[in-house]
Structure 1
């Protein structure tokens, strides 16, 4: 079985490229189906191709498994071309930023990602939920088979073990906390600022909770669906507005945090320029946590705007690393043990077809000898004589193959068979 993980993340690619290869959540099922078709093309074994796609603000990864006899390099090329073609990019533009991890490297990577060891925020818990969502989408699309299903189930178990037995997440600094820290560098007191959150998903809820703890002057949620925005605003003692009202409302806010699933920017340069003019050039702090980006990058060049993306938060979220090194070492040890266990399971699966064939051949021999015994009994033969003939017939047929192989072998091959056969036919007393 050929396992492969291929992708890019915050350490290998800038946000400008990551947003180009991000898969919208509502298109994941379609993308997974396309990935399976691409991987199986030229092999003729569609059912053998398994695939799952993980796409977050910090990474886009494709996990796949294929039973076909394609070389690792061919599988990597096919996967890279799928990602490039799907997003209408050139392979030459994408390839330098991709990591390609075959076999146990793919398993180890999945375990590390789910455990928070490969995140921008070391130990952050959100990635585990995002991976579970990705697996559910792949399963719903019929793209999970025996191997990826087993790998991901073990991935979740490893992540749970790492989080419950180490302190990997005890000192983590979330994106939300980092955003608050940066805002405090711009404004002395967040309690005197009006804060706007665009979106109503998990990341926005987390950020809004952190900012709410600073008792801002006002807290507003802007969302396409007003009802969902109002539900979140109610929990945080804020108010909600429609996203369509943002152009007229933007000037009222000092701090803006955005994280939506939009494939196009929500806040453009012209909108912010008008807002800054209406604010008489009072500074505005903006955080764009979305990939693809919600806020046009050109806005960051405005004198009175402090714009940060997920990549800009990297330095802040890595504080306290020294306090987590012991936990990292412990987590890596757990992961390595579990990787070896999974690869042993993979190896054991390779002999399943051989075992099945042995069972089928044995069953044919059994049925032939059983039918012969029934005919003898029907003719009135003595039952003990029939049973003796049955046992001798079964034994002779089971030993025929090994004896023939031993007689026809020569030299080292005969020596190996001579040493192996007694182990295969050793009886338990």
Structure 2
């Protein structure tokens, strides 16, 4: 088993490319998994400024095939050619992939260092993969550990202590452009997803009183019922735009607000702040050409995001590195366990064959039982030292030596070991599914979807 991550983020790729890669993001994981797939599972993390696929390749030999399969699937769903997709994605494997996810989950690779939203997006990515059946046991442990690491960073360092996020920095920029009298502003929010929910919460904290929500999917009434504000319809949207002081785009839907829309709403030359937080842009670029409109984009937020203190960053990164090292050690021990199980299964088969011979010759006599007892005790003693040594070697990152030794001495192949690990993971998954089946189903929530996937 090898972790493979393919990464495109704001650090290396422009946001337009990230948005294009994200088309069909929810279908990538299931699309790359079939009977002949070189990978056992996959989880997709798609946010406003990153697109990442985490896969579990079945072996080191399957890493390149895994990368190619993911690239081909993304190309098919996004409409981009494979060469463009391949050049936009950075490939990380093994410990690098683990360290990267932990860094991302802790908000240390975000446009706003220490942002809060990304930890929730990491959790939701895992939940969606589990619901669609693409998350393996190893991927579940990986993402759950990333979430725990993010909590440790939040509770033990000053990173994120100020509650900064992409939304909060965007609202701060709006205050700088106009003023901070939020209670007097008329605000229109487009969307009902994760960022829309975060926006509503922060607007409430700033005592915004006149907030209107529009969604072309019709989810606005249910959204405002739990978060406050007034739902807009197609008929009332134009009137709200005419009176708006601030419009905030969080939907990333197919429709875009244009300069013509504002003109038709009868705004005239009234000043307006347009905050576009959607990866695929809710506001057409024609708004930027209007003198009375100030447009704040994700790029604006990234440029305005404050730098965190060096000491706090170093402390946070130390927590991430330690967590990644500990996770890697646990994974190596699990690999050793699979090898040990394969060895025990092999020796058990040999032992049972010999015991059957004793029973055939001597029947169920006391002598036969004593011979069987002695043979089982001897086998346990013989396996004790190899078991201890296998775990020690695995902890040192030398699992390959254990597997090589088992192959040379007992004819146990890596395929045998992988099969044992897969059986164990399958049994665990069946238990989890059985436990989940006993729980009442949760109601769907718009807020669990990535902002550019909602309307």
TM-score relative to the length of structure 1: 0.79
CA distance in 2, matches of 1:379, 1:212: 79
**Partner in structure 2 of residue 412 of structure 1:** none
Partners of 2:114 and 2:165 within 8 A in 1: no
Partners of 2:257 and 2:283 within 8 A in 1: yes
Higher relative CO (CA 8 A, sep ≥ 6), structure 1 or 2?
A: 2
Most deviating of 113-122 and 168-177: 168-177
1:373 corresponds to 2:373: no
1:33 corresponds to 2:30: yes
Partner residue of 1:328 out of 306, 313, 318: 313
Most deviating of 179-188 and 80-89: 179-188
**Secondary structure of residue in 1 paired with 2:33:** helix
CA distance in 2, matches of 1:310, 1:126: 14
**Secondary structure of residue in 2 paired with 1:293:** coil
CA distance in 2, matches of 1:388, 1:92: 66
1:3 corresponds to 2:3: yes
Most deviating of 57-66 and 341-350: 341-350
Q: 1:214 to 1:66 in 2, by over 3 A?
A: closer
**Secondary structure of residue in 2 paired with 1:285:** strand
CA distance in 2, matches of 1:226, 1:106: 38
CA distance in 2, matches of 1:274, 1:386: 94
Q: 1:90 to 1:273 in 2, by over 3 A?
A: farther
User: What runs of 5+ residues in structure 2 fail to find an aligned partner?
Assistant: 383-400, 410-455
**Partner in structure 2 of residue 165 of structure 1:** 156
**Secondary structure of residue in 2 paired with 1:197:** strand
**Partner in structure 1 of residue 21 of structure 2:** 21
**Partner in structure 2 of residue 403 of structure 1:** none
Aligned positions of 1:87-106 closer than 5 A:
87-106=78-97
The structure number with the bigger radius of gyration is: 1
**Partner in structure 2 of residue 343 of structure 1:** 328
Partner residue of 1:176 out of 167, 170, 188: 167
1:146 corresponds to 2:146: no
CA distance in 1, matches of 2:315, 2:106: 12
User: How many angstroms does 1:201 deviate by?
Assistant: 3.3
CA distance in 2, matches of 1:174, 1:345: 33
CA distance in 2, matches of 1:170, 1:66: 37
Q: 1:259 to 1:322 in 2, by over 3 A?
A: closer
User: How many angstroms does 1:102 deviate by?
Assistant: 1.0
CA distance in 2, matches of 1:115, 1:391: 54
Aligned positions of 1:279-358 closer than 5 A:
279-316=267-304, 318-319=305-306, 321-323=307-309, 325-358=310-343
Partners of 2:28 and 2:70 within 8 A in 1: no
**Partner in structure 2 of residue 407 of structure 1:** none
**Secondary structure of residue in 1 paired with 2:341:** helix
CA distance in 1, matches of 2:79, 2:361: 73
**Secondary structure of residue in 2 paired with 1:70:** helix
Partners of 2:248 and 2:275 within 8 A in 1: yes
User: How many angstroms does 1:71 deviate by?
Assistant: 5.3
TM-score relative to the length of structure 2: 0.74
Partners of 2:153 and 2:159 within 8 A in 1: yes
User: How many angstroms does 1:31 deviate by?
Assistant: 2.9
Q: 1:395 to 1:228 in 2, by over 3 A?
A: closer
Partners of 1:299 and 1:305 within 8 A in 2: yes
Q: 1:394 to 1:201 in 2, by over 3 A?
A: closer
Partner residue of 1:114 out of 99, 105, 109: 105
CA RMSD of aligned residues (A): 3.2
Instruction: Give the count of matched residue pairs.
Output: 382
Most deviating of 118-127 and 56-65: 118-127
